[in-house]
């Protein structure tokens, strides 16, 4: 969605420090993903596209989407859960110092730095925002920035 720069909730400042820079990127990608879904009600979000499928198996047309729920309440619950997780993650991030970014945290069978986790989450948001842009274009033709 192209929004007027005066209405754009994302910030593009000159953050001071690594933590502030990572937080700005993370916040902006979260807002971008939220904007891509803006104005779409639960009925549209759980709907199906009329575009041909890019992924299917002859023996199971739904493949990995077996068990997907099309209940409208589930869509609202999913957005509420996402917002709650964002709030919890932000509370954790607020408590971090610059030095904490290098701290090792458990991951799979080893450890990674907090910095690595944050960069990975930013990467995932960027990827999902791109996917959401393509899906939104299929729904109503709108593309985003």
Residue 93 has pLDDT above 80, yes or no: yes
The pLDDT of residue 110 is: 94
Average of per-residue pLDDT across 79-100: 95
Q: Average the pLDDT over each of 53-57, 117-121, 135-139 and give the range with the smallest value.
A: 53-57
* Choice between 134 and 53, residue whose per-residue pLDDT is larger: 134
The pLDDT of residue 14 is: 85
Distances (CA, A) of 20 to 9, 96, 105: 17, 11, 20
Query: Dihedral through CA 134, CA 85, CA 82, CA 1, nearest 10?
Result: -40
Q: What is the 3-state secondary structure (H, E, C) of the chain?
A: CCCCCCCCCCCCCCCCCHHHHHHHHHHHHHHHHHHHHCCCCHHHHCCCCCCCCCCCECCECCHHHCCCCCCHHHHHHHHHHHHHHHHHHHHHHHHCCHHHHHCEEEECCEEEEHHHHHHHHHHHHHHHHHHHHHHHHHHHCCCCC
The pLDDT of residue 103 is: 95
The pLDDT of residue 10 is: 87
Q: pTM for the whole thing?
A: 0.75
- 39 pLDDT band, cuts 50/70/90, is confident
Domain spans of the chain, in order of start? 18-140
Q: Within a 13 Å sphere around the CA of 41, how many CA atoms are in the beta-carbon half?
A: 2
Which single residue is written with the structure tokens 């509420």? 80
The pLDDT of residue 82 is: 94
The pLDDT of residue 87 is: 97
Residue 121 has pLDDT above 70, yes or no: yes
* Choice between 140 and 45, residue whose per-residue pLDDT is larger: 140
């Amino acid at each position: 969605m192209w929004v007027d720069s005066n209405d754009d909730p994302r910030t593009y400042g000159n953050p001071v420090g690594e933590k502030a820079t990572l937080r700005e990127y993370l916040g902006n990608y979260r807002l971008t993903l939220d904007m891509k879904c803006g104005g779409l009600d639960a009925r549209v979000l759980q709907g199906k596209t009329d575009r041909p499928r890019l992924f299917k198996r002859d023996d199971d047309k739904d493949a990995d989407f077996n068990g997907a729920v099309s209940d409208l309440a589930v869509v609202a619950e999913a957005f509420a859960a996402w917002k709650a997780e964002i709030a919890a993650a932000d509370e954790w991030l607020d408590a971090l110092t610059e030095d904490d970014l290098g701290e090792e945290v458990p991951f799979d069978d080893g450890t990674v730095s907090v910095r690595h986790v944050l960069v990975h989450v930013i990467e995932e948001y960027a990827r999902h925002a791109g996917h959401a842009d393509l899906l939104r274009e299929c729904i109503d033709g709108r593309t985003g920035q």
